[in-house]
């Protein structure tokens, strides 16, 4: 039974529901790629499937637009897979548990994947119909955007002739993006040693944080559970001896981590002091974040006496040193005219793991200034060196520079004003968009990015506005009709 079948525009929400039924987390998009390929072939549209899974679908111009320059519509297939702590959803095989309430489409206990599934659905709706006016179309669906723009980087740009690009990977209706930050992934890997140890074992979990997208939401100064865990460990070490047994936090380097946990050993005589110290720290953190993190909770459970491998004191010291000294959040704000209030450089540690003999931290670094991005990465390299850890970069992607001579943007702004009766917001975004990769591959190229309102992207509370999607799809159709 269809859940979204009665929502207009029906073709858009029909395709979105079909996409939600196909598992498509980053690194797991083969099935969705095949679905899109079949979609094109069933409609006798020319389609190209690249080895990595990227899909390019070509559609001839509608009547009267045959001599118009081609337009590229672009979005990405993969979604961020985050779920609530009590969710049993399996992102590898389960359809998303989508639902609708009033104006919002959401998934129960998981991310919805409207970032960027709704882009695919809108583009598919354009391809599916012969009623819409448009120039020749080159519709590009890329893989693995959420883990370093890997699909865009692997794209054969010789297969794209368009020099006018509409990117649909934006999340605020009425906000048109015209530039974006570049970024890279920075990973710290530290070899650790263990020693058998006995003590009272405690399970400690930091939870209830807001989380969110580590680019767009970094300027909200939401708490990072991994960074707070580092503070908690250091706070405990200042009061008593502790031994670290387990340590983990976060799921994606481009999502601000909402939870972190550890198992610790303390001596029997320190158990009461330990619990009191954790409670004291919890109140301190709640006070610090009282304005924007009302649900922070630190759970602490006494599991009784145990004998287990615990980190040697030197390894534990190195880990706490890293957690307490790594940069976090907003590093620098933009000073350029017209860009006031935009983050220039930031860093988010989104994954922390302690696996056997290795401790790992994974970070997403972003900056609209490439030299600042590499300078920040160098700081991480130096910190890693200080404790004898390895540091490596991956997933480097370029920024998208503002084009003051865009021909698409004035048309889009006029159409939006006519539709909504107000001027749109034109801005850069402190997040990696594939526009940066496309810009560097195709320049000179005219690019604009817009989309419907998506709240809570990259979190289990993600929602998609139905009415915003309706208006945005109409805007897309009107724009294509104007690009003659």
**Catalytic (active-site) positions:** 78, 145
Alpha-helical (H) ranges within 222-369 are 225-237, 271-288, 313-325
235 class by beta-carbon count within 10 Å (0-12 exposed, 13-18 middle, 19+ buried): middle
Question: Beta partners for 100?
Answer: 105
Instruction: Report how far apart, in Å, the C-alpha atoms of 75 and of each of 227, 395, 402 are.
Output: 33, 18, 20
Alpha-helical (H) ranges within 352-433 are 370-386, 408-420
CB 432 within 8 A of CB 144: no
Tokens of 465: 């506005």
Please work out, in degrees rounded to the nearest 5, the angle formed at the alpha carbon of residue 369 by the alpha carbons of 365 and 374.
50
Task: Give the β-pairing of 71-76 and 137-142.
Answer: parallel
Does 116 sit behind a cis peptide bond, omega within 30 degrees of 0 on the bond before it?
yes
Angle between helices 313-325 and 370-386 (to 10 degrees): 160
Residue among 380, 356, 373 at smallest CA distance from 432: 373
CB count, 10 Å around CB of 462? 26
- Residue 133 DSSP symbol: -
Question: Beta partners for 71?
Answer: 137
Say how far apart CA 480 and CA 484 lie, in whole Å.
8
CB 479 within 8 A of CB 168: no
Question: Beta partners for 310?
Answer: 195
CB 263 within 8 A of CB 204: yes
Residue among 206, 285, 274 at smallest CA distance from 239: 274
Residue among 430, 436, 452, 367 at smallest CA distance from 398: 436
- Residue 125 φ/ψ, nearest 5 degrees: -65, -40
Residue among 117, 134, 116, 143 at smallest CA distance from 56: 143
């Amino acid at each position: 039974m269809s859940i979204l079948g009665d929502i207009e525009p029906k073709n858009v929400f029909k395709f979105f529901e079909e996409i939600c039924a196909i598992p498509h987390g980053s690194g797991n998009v083969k099935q969705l790629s095949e679905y899109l390929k079949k979609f094109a072939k069933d409609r006798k549209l020319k389609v190209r499937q690249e080895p990595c899974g990227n899909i390019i679908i070509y559609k001839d111009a509608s009547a009267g637009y045959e001599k118009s320059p081609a337009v590229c519509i672009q979005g990405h297939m993969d979604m961020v897979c985050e779920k609530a702590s009590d969710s049993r959803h399996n992102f590898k095989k389960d359809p998303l548990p989508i639902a609708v309430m009033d104006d919002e489409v959401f998934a129960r206990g998981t991310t919805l994947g409207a970032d960027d599934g709704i882009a695919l659905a809108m583009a598919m709706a354009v391809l599916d119909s012969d009623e819409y006016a448009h120039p020749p179309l080159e519709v590009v669906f890329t893989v693995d955007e959420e883990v370093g723009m890997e699909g865009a980087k692997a794209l054969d740009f010789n297969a794209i002739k368009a020099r006018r690009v509409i990117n649909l990977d934006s999340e605020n209706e009425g906000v048109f993006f015209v530039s974006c930050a570049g970024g890279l992934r920075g990973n710290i890997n530290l070899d650790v040693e263990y020693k058998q140890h006995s003590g009272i074992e405690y399970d400690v979990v930091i939870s209830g944080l807001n989380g969110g997208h580590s680019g767009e939401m970094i300027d909200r100064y939401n708490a990072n559970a991994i960074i707070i865990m580092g503070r908690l460990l250091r706070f405990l070490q200042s009061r008593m001896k502790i031994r670290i047994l387990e340590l983990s936090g976060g799921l994606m380097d481009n999502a601000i981590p909402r939870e972190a946990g550890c198992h610790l050993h303390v001596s029997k005589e320190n158990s009461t002091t330990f619990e009191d110290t954790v409670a004291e720290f919890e109140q301190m953190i709640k006070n610090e974040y009282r304005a924007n993190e009302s649900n922070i909770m630190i759970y602490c459970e006494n599991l009784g006496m145990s004998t287990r491998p615990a980190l040697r004191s030197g390894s534990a010291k190195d880990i706490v040193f890293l957690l307490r000294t790594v940069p976090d959040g907003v590093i620098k704000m933009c000073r350029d005219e017209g860009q006031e209030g935009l983050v220039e450089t930031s860093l988010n540690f989104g994954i922390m793991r302690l696996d056997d003999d290795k401790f790992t931290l994974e970070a997403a670094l972003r900056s609209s200034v490439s030299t600042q991005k590499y300078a920040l990465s160098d700081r991480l390299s130096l910190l890693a060196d200080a404790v004898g850890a390895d540091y490596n970069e991956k997933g480097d992607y370029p920024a998208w520079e503002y084009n003051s001579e865009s021909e698409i943007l004035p048309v889009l702004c006029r159409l939006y004003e006519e539709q909504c009766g107000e001027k749109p917001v034109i801005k850069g975004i402190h997040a990696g968009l594939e526009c940066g990769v496309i810009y560097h591959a195709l320049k000179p190229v005219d690019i604009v990015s817009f989309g419907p309102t998506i709240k809570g992207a990259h979190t289990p509370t993600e929602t998609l506005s139905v009415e915003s999607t309706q208006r945005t799809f109409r805007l897309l159709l009107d724009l294509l009709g104007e690009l003659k």
